[in-house]
Amino acid sequence: MKNGSAAKGRSSWSSKLVNPVLDKEFRLRMRTPRSMWALFFYVGAMGAAALAFIYLMTEINRHGPSAFNPEESRMMFIFISFAQMGLIAFMAPGLTAGVISGEREKQTLNLLLTTQQSSATIILSKLVSSLAFMILIVLATMPVYSIVFLYGGISPWQLLGLFLFFVFVMFVLGAFGLLFSTLFKRTMLAVIATYGVTLFLFIGTALMFLFLNGVLQELYRNVPSTGAPPYRWIGHLLALNPAAAMYSILEPSLTRQAFFVSGMQGNSRSPMTLWQEFILIYSIVTSLLIGLSIRYLRPRLKRRT
């Protein structure tokens, strides 16, 4: 009797956590030979890049100390981290930009909407299932990151924070793709719009910061270098950049460089680090994007005047 009630309890919890939409998406995305080979080649490429970096650093220091010092190990960690961020920026929009528009093009969206699953369940299941494979790829590179711990230069807490930040960026970019996939009827339009937003977040915000930084440097050229350095609002612009926010986890001094004019003396501190402001801003943005996707998933009847 107890075993029957326990099994019933487990089935009820599994039905709540894994709904039919999520179960179907997991089966389609995970149980294919293409997924296995993609995981294999990506981890192999990341491992080859790490070994190549160690070999190059050893060749450069051939006439000096031949040991691979912790500073070079830290450089390798940053190199691999930026490679991971590039993967996320490239894959996340493509994985989520067609989840709803693809169903519409295959004429299966109406069948999906007639099921007992709510709009929120459908949207969240599509988002989680689309990003699950990419999360698996990122976690599979943990052995590559373990090479860094052989030489030192990085702490386990930084590695944990970095991986959690990767997952957060995935959901941010995935939320943009999900919204455009819901709004546009064609997958191609949704993909173009999503990659356009991603390009602006990574490159557009950086170029705007560099331009405004040069302008402010010219304005403060004749300001005496004593006292507290002038606070710059353009640091908030750099906080919108995922790559800069990720780098601020590894180099906390980047926050001060972003918010205060370089060359000015003083001990002033910024209100928060770049990655903290990034998470705060994009948590609100992601919630709004998912809410809009849920709202516009089902067609609404126009009211008669």
Per the model's pLDDT, the better-predicted residue between 23 and 118 turns out to be 118
Q: Say whether pLDDT at 59 is over 80.
A: no
pLDDT, the chain, mean? 78
pLDDT of residue 66: 53
Give CA–CA dist 139/142, Å, rounded.
6
Average pLDDT in the 219-236 region? Answer: 63
Look at residue 221 in the predicted model and tell me its pLDDT.
Answer: 67
Q: How confident is the model at residue 217 (pLDDT cuts 50, 70, 90)?
A: confident
Instruction: Average the pLDDT over each of 138-152, 182-196, 260-274 and give the range with the smallest value.
Output: 260-274
At residue 199 the predicted structure's pLDDT band, cuts being 50, 70 and 90, is: very high
Residue 244 has pLDDT above 80, yes or no: yes
pLDDT level of residue 135 (50, 70, 90 thresholds): confident
Q: Hey, where are the domains in the chain? A: 17-295
Please determine, for residue 270, whether its predicted confidence score (pLDDT) is greater than 70.
no
Is the dihedral angle over the CA atoms 11, 133, 167, 283 positive or is it negative? negative
Three-class secondary structure of residue 72 per DSSP: helix
Q: Can you read off the two tokens belonging to residue 268?
A: 């002033």
Q: Is 91 exposed, middle or buried (0-12, 13-18, 19+ CB in 10 A)?
A: buried
Distance of alpha carbon 280 from alpha carbon 179, whole angstroms: 20
For the ranges 23-27, 96-100, 108-112, 176-180, the maximum mean pLDDT occurs at: 176-180
Q: How confident is the model at residue 289 (pLDDT cuts 50, 70, 90)?
A: very high
**Tell me: the pLDDT tens digits for 101-123?**
888 888 888 877 887 778 888 88
Looking at the chain, the whole-number percentage of residues with pLDDT higher than 90 is 22
Which is higher by pLDDT, 50 or 249? 249
Which of 123 and 262 is assigned the larger pLDDT? 123
Q: What is the pTM of this model?
A: 0.82
Highest mean pLDDT among 49-53, 148-152, 249-253: 249-253
At 280 the pLDDT is 94
Name the range with the highest mean pLDDT among 28-37, 52-61, 178-187.
Answer: 178-187
Confidence of residue 75 (pLDDT cuts 50, 70, 90): confident
- For 160-180, the pLDDT digits (tens) are 888 999 999 999 999 999 999
What is the per-residue pLDDT for 168? 95
Here the tokens at position 176 are: 């943009």
Residues 101 and 109: their CA atoms lie apart, in Å, by 8
Q: How far is Cα 133 from Cα 121, in angstroms, rounded to an integer?
A: 19
Maximum mean pLDDT: which of 40-49, 204-213, 262-271, 292-301: 204-213
Selected residue with higher pLDDT from 81 and 7: 81
274 vs 235, higher pLDDT: 274
The vertex-63 CA angle with 61 and 68, nearest 5°, equals 30
pLDDT at 16 over 60: no
